[in-house]
Structure 1
């Protein structure tokens, strides 16, 4: 069966650079927060059109750190989509706050601004919760509707996090999410568009004071002096080896984004007349973390593709608000009908920066055959 994500081709392309930088880091012995980490942070800030970037241990910590910096607590409400990975929601109750689940747009699968506005108004008038933060997700690699969402946040005095775990590198009207969000979070999990060879994460932002707080929080709350602690923090530092790997990958990242978009265009042309293909927001450029379509008989469709040697995945089969640990948390007025409908129909196909030629044609042929 073909790979769902072709990491081997990328690794072969970078092998000499990876061997050199890994050998250098091992020889120098600065395995945590070494000079490559500092260099990576500078490069990430520049790439993401932000003033500051700080790495951390994983994408989940990247979400938790700003909530810690803003001192969220019991009685605070954080508005999140339910059609997402668990990390987006789980960091909220871990801070003692309450997630309020919001519906998604039926075409982009990102947070619906109308559902968000309704959820905020309902929370203000019908509960004792205090609205504090919105976490919008760049789902499947494309930007959320940040102009609309940020306008709502500004009007309500709320902080805005761009959960760009799947979407770092995406843009909207030529701007990265940092142009609108108070903070953008990144995951470097290996399957992400910009992935390392283990766990890793980062945050990018414009606010120097917030950056200073997060720098302390990621390292046990340490202050200016070593072993002098100013606050309670986490152990959330990035390994230098992972930073070195990411530096090598960042050099070809823009080229890979171009490749992913070419593959997405070929998919849309190849089977867009027989299945519902993704819609990218006007002015948006996706990094295509996943290429997700909708079909009627999903299990039958997946079985036929498997017979043809084409792997598939489902992101996400059970919305977070329907999972047992989250069932008691509030949802937007009217429920989340778009989220629940999409969860039964979506299926993701192979996608990476090297998808093309016979491999992609095999996917296109399998899709067309499966729905014939």
Structure 2
């Protein structure tokens, strides 16, 4: 049999979809398992299909799914089609626009909506909706139209979107200079001891689980992150807090609160979907499970957003209602904490 010619990695037919370099502490691990830790929404089946089709490369060579990744290996997933996130399709998805003018718009995003397309979510995102609403959106440094900042899929709340290049530059600079105002409401596990405080600790990806972020207190990894919190209401086994962001890192509030021992309520990715505080009574367990059903996501809402308008120079401030699911969950805890003492 003729040997199968290896395609060249730089051949025009192949596009890089993912690239990871295994960290220094990487124990030998099968490449399919390694990629499962790194790629959000990937299934084992999809990764194995990619391996069978010769789409997984390590250090420039095609590998099989049982290849063991070692420290320093460069792992790439290459396909013959460009990454979907560059194939942005306008979609007629309803948007809650709280303000709009020639330069920008402010959207109140519902929980469950992904902000921008990426692996596993190529449609139904906020960007697909925005492109339908506004024809020409400027691209940010990551080629993502209109986005000045983002909030997680299961976080609800306010986002500002730039409609012109000038607005994009101006607003991005405010976020970079930490002059924008962002306040979130969160329900966290446990009784937060101090009435207010600041959490600062660099944030980077968790080397053991790529879908999580982690705090590196020494500050030699990741990016600086600062969150100021204030207790709004103590509800027994949970606390309602307000968080003001000084920086806007991925999962910042979720990671910072977990770091100080107060994981967000029902935050599945960080372990908040388990009963972390409270009694062992079956009745209590039932109560918590009911509240998880009412709020099937992390208890986080981007409530207030403030910035200087890039054209008029006016200070603008927007405030949003707490969404029903979060409001109902808080009410249930209020009633519970009153009756259980």
Provide the TM-score with structure 1 as the length reference.
0.21
Q: Tell me which protein shows more helix as a share of its residues.
A: 1
Between the two structures, name the one with larger relative contact order (CA 8 Å, sep ≥ 6). 1
Provide the TM-score with structure 2 as the length reference.
0.23
Which protein has the larger Cα radius of gyration, Structure 1 or Structure 2?
2
Q: Tell me which protein shows more strand as a share of its residues.
A: 2
